[in-house]
Structures are given as structure tokens and as C-alpha cells.
Amino acid sequence: MGNCSGTSSGTVEEKQRSRDIDQAIKKDRKYIDHEIKILLLGAGESGKSTIVKQMRILFDDGFTEEDRVTYKEIINSNVILSMRSLVMGMQEMGIECDADNAEHVELFTS
């Protein structure tokens, strides 16, 4: 009749593989038990991404070097656009700037 004994006939390698898988499952379960998930809902431009970035800075390892380079470019662009808006607004309102800053004003109006 076939092999119906109660003992496992698996090889040593199979048993070790099974133990390794069991340990990996236990390790993953510990991680999952401590993992916290947050669902952020809100309209566009309501700050969901900002919250995620702040959480990453505070509780994770921060940003990668690639993220820093990307954010640096975005921040520089935002500063330049904001300065341009301020200078253009000053001109529309007839507000004169100091003579010392005249050459800088030219950078934002050209």
C-alpha cells in the first residue's frame, strides 16, 4: 500500500527550508503587528503630502540624497517665482525699490 507512516519523510534540506520559512513568517508578523497605517483624506492641495513628508522626517530615516536634490530644485524654483511675483506686484503698485537692489529687480523682470 503506500507510505502512510506518521513520520515525515522529507529530506533534511526540506525541513530546514520549512524552518526558515516559519522564522520569516514570525519575523514578518512581528513587523506587521507594530506597523501603523494611516489613511489621509482631503481635497487637492490640502497638505496630505506635507504630512507624509513630515512623518518621514520625524520617524523614518529622512530623505534620500535623490529626494534632497529633487526638493532642492523645487524649493529654488518656488523662491524665484515668489520673488518675481513680489517684484511684479511692487511695480504694479508703484513701489520703488532701493537703488542697491535695482540690478536684482532686473533679474526678476526680464
Backbone φ/ψ region at 42: left (φ over 0), alpha (ψ -120 to 50), beta: left
pLDDT of 1: 47
pLDDT of 84: 93
Cα 47 from Cα 20, distance rounded (Å) = 43
Per-residue pLDDT of the chain (110 residues; tens, 9 = 90+): 455 554 556 799 999 999 999 999 998 888 888 888 889 999 998 999 999 888 888 888 878 888 889 989 999 999 999 999 999 999 899 988 888 888 888 888 87
On whether the pTM is more than 0.75, the answer is no
Rg (Cα) of the chain, in Å, rounded?
A: 30
pLDDT of 4: 52
Q: How far is CA 34 from the centre of its chain?
A: 20
pLDDT of 20: 94
pLDDT of 62: 79
CB 71 within 8 A of CB 63: yes
Could you tell me where the beta strands, DSSP code E, fall in the chain? Answer: none
Cα 108 from Cα 63, distance rounded (Å) = 31
**CA atoms within 13 Å, Cβ hemisphere of 28:** 6
